[in-house]
Amino acid sequence: MTAGRGTRPSAATVEQVAERAGVSRSTVSRVVNGGSRVSPAALAAVRAAIEELDYVPNRAARSLASRQTHAIALVVPEDTNRFFGDPFFAAIVAGINAAITDSDYVLNLFIASNDPGSKTTRYLTGGNVDGAIVVSHHTADTFVNRIAEAVPLVFGGRPAVPRDAYYYVDVDNVAGGRLATRHLIDAGHRRIATIAGPGTMPAGEDRLLGFRSELADAGLEPFAVESGGFTAEGGAAAALHLLQEHPGARPDAIFAASDLMARGAVRALASVGVRVPEDIAVIGFDDSPVAVAERPYLTTVRQPSRRQGEAITEVLLARLAGAEPQHATILDCELVPRETA
């Protein structure tokens, strides 16, 4: 049987419209959603492609458009001290802001550590935002599941409790942990300890896994594993505990799974007369402003935090436009050698 007049065997996609118009998918999304920041030439090209391909946004996209608030939420399940004290979050927000600059969306921030879902969830599920981004997800943050059931949601980092339907953008934390550990091994260190992040967060688990895996490949065992909670204070306490627990055979290197912990460790070691890197080498993770805020400058693993913020937002905007982006986007890390290792 042949299709009748006006019947489409298969619906055109956002990607096909973008390819026909010679523009990005996000540009097509802005045109479809009525965004104003599109050049006249791009606008004409997209409209022509839509007409040629007989493109119609799917029902989910039309439903979203009918109740658009042009607001997206950034939900951070941390306390205010952690949020404002960790440069990682500033970089993420900068990336999100850059990604929405050419759209009509505005960003709402929710620091939700002291609100286990009640007020935040009521607001986000009450039709006040079109979508949400969650960054710094812990296993105990189950209220996020209720948000995901109400609005399109994208995670910054692998979700602590993964589901097949979730979307996320992460860095390759396992590879980053391996990079740091390999750098220390190649420098001749054999008594290598780590100051790990929280075990309730995938980033902490994955960086620790990378550390252990690289040591195992080299035929080595971890000298010690301490927890530092991704804070400078935690890093300092962990470094001092390492010295107290192993006074006769202290480590010759430390991999701290964040720059804040690494900086805290370096300060603590200096306070008791231990030189970095001469006595103990230290390597961090992030390549945040903390790494070069004071001497010695931190050797660290760079994660593209600003780019991660942009990519998270691009995935969310694609979902809001009715597209089907890939569920997992993984960004690469790189080693940045400086003075501490």
Residue 5 domain flag? no
Using one digit for the tens of pLDDT, what is the confidence trace for 2-37?
A: 343 344 445 678 888 889 999 988 888 777 766 556
How confident is the model at residue 60, as a pLDDT? Answer: 45
Cis peptide leading into 57, omega within 30 of 0?
no
If asked whether residues 163 and 238 sit together in one domain, one would say: no
Q: Which residues make Cβ contacts (< 8 Å) with residue 310, sequence separation at least 6?
A: 95, 96, 98, 99
153: which 2 tokens?
């949601």
Using one digit for the tens of pLDDT, what is the confidence trace for 151-197?
A: 899 999 998 887 888 999 999 999 999 999 999 999 999 999 999 99
List the CATH number of the domain containing 23.
1.10.260.40
Residue 154 domain flag? yes
Residue 132 domain flag? yes
Separation between Cα atoms, residue 272 and residue 285, nearest integer Å: 24
List the CATH number of the domain containing 135.
3.40.50.2300
If asked whether residues 201 and 296 sit together in one domain, one would say: yes
If asked whether residues 194 and 288 sit together in one domain, one would say: yes
If asked whether residues 116 and 151 sit together in one domain, one would say: yes
If asked whether residues 211 and 285 sit together in one domain, one would say: yes
* Predicted structure pTM score: 0.76
If asked whether residues 300 and 324 sit together in one domain, one would say: no
If asked whether residues 263 and 209 sit together in one domain, one would say: yes
The residue among 61, 65, 70 whose CA lies nearest residue 104 is 70
Segment 207-219 shows an average pLDDT of 97
Residue 283 domain flag? yes
How confident is the model at residue 34, as a pLDDT? Answer: 60
Residue 62 domain flag? no
Q: Give how many domains the chain has, as a whole number.
A: 3
If asked whether residues 137 and 182 sit together in one domain, one would say: no
If asked whether residues 84 and 46 sit together in one domain, one would say: no
- Decide if 11 contacts 59 (C-beta within 8 A): no
If asked whether residues 239 and 313 sit together in one domain, one would say: no
Separation between Cα atoms, residue 23 and residue 40, nearest integer Å: 12
Residue 6 domain flag? no
Residue 220 domain flag? yes
Backbone φ, ψ for residue 329 (5° rounding): -120, 125
If asked whether residues 296 and 177 sit together in one domain, one would say: yes
Using one digit for the tens of pLDDT, what is the confidence trace for 218-277?
A: 999 999 999 999 999 999 999 999 999 888 889 999 999 999 999 999 999 999 999 999
Three-state helix/strand/coil letters over 199-226: CCCHHHHHHHHHHHHHHHHCCCCCCEEE
How confident is the model at residue 170, as a pLDDT? Answer: 95
If asked whether residues 134 and 201 sit together in one domain, one would say: no
Question: CA 26: distance to chain centroid?
Answer: 20
What range does the domain containing 35 cover? 14-56
Binning pLDDT at 50, 70 and 90, where does residue 79 land?
A: confident
